[in-house]
Amino acid sequence: MTMGKGGVGKTTVASAIAVELAHRGHRVHLSTTDPAAHLVQTMGASVPGLSISRIDPAVETRRYSEQVMSKSAPHLDEQGKALLEEDLRSPCTEEIAVFSAFAETVSRGENEFVVLDTAPTGHTLLLLDAAEAYHRDVSRNQSDLPEAVRRLLPRLRDGAFTRVVLVTLPEATPVHEAARLRDDLVRAGITPFAWVVNQSFSGNGFRDPVLLERGRRELPFIAEVRDRLASRMVVLPWKREPPVGPDRLRELAGSQPVL
């Protein structure tokens, strides 16, 4: 799972990981919970062994509502059906539907690699809060929850099943927001596996004085991630051409880290 502030390159990093895994012969599913993500455009072309999906809130809400109605309607009179339909129009229905779809996507990791490009920090934390709430409910009484939902939080906490990659830029706000996200994850029992500092100008190859100065100013934030925040870190260099398409994504995945 790639997590972080919006605009730091989570979709690109997730796509690069997925393409490299598929190239190594694994079956891979790449998905996103981010409404602004454009996985198909980033991928540019189909990749053997790699499937792509998106958790669309509108689609998932409609599907969830139809499932609830089909299950409950035969046991309700007209007034009961009307009350249920009104209840399903509440905002929490979308949250439940998206959360259930998220849990189902994670569960695919039993049989293939799943790479999840998650939404910006706030939405991600809502999903984690929902996971915590569901887990507490299941602990109190074994309610009729789907198996994928029941097992979601233990799967996210299992470092052998889930690896969270925090993506940031070598700038103050993205690094510090990612640090707060890391703290929230740790409190939820989820330890980030690694950090990716994306689009760095701190490596060799730049001669322009403006870019050299920009690279110099990145160094304290890279050092903060390396020395205080991350157990594993890679710094990806800024690319002249956008990393779109399987070839450029593989090139990004194989970049020599700028450390």
Could you give the CA distance from residue 140 to residue 154 in angstroms, rounded to a whole number?
A: 16
Could you give the CA distance from residue 196 to residue 15 in angstroms, rounded to a whole number?
A: 14
Q: How many CA atoms within 13 Å lie on the side-chain side of 69?
A: 17
At 134-170, the pLDDT tens digits run 555 545 544 566 788 888 888 989 999 999 999 999 9
Name beta bridge partners: 210: none
* pLDDT at residue 142 in the model: 46
Give the rounded distance of the alpha carbon of 209 from its chain centre: 36
φ/ψ bin of 45: left (φ > 0), alpha (ψ from -120 to 50), beta (otherwise): beta
Contact 196, 166 (CB under 8 A): yes
Q: Which CATH number is 2-253's, of 3.40.50.12780, 3.30.460.10, 3.40.50.300, 2.60.450.10?
A: 3.40.50.300
Contact 29, 113 (CB under 8 A): yes
* pLDDT at residue 201 in the model: 93
Backbone angles phi, psi at 233, to 5 degrees: -150, 140
Could you give the CA distance from residue 194 to residue 172 in angstroms, rounded to a whole number?
A: 19
Give the rounded distance of the alpha carbon of 183 from its chain centre: 17
Burial of 109 (0-12, 13-18, 19+ CB in 10 A): middle
Interhelix angle 91-107/121-140, rounded to 10 degrees, is 80
Backbone angles phi, psi at 31, to 5 degrees: -140, 165
Give the rounded distance of the alpha carbon of 115 from its chain centre: 8
Name beta bridge partners: 200: 237
- Find, among 43, 1, 53, 5, the residue nearest to 22 by Cα: 43
Beta strands 2-3 and 28-32, pairing class: unpaired
Tokens of 174: 């993205």
Give me the residues of the chain with pLDDT under 70, please: 120-145, 255-259
Enter the pTM of the model.
0.85
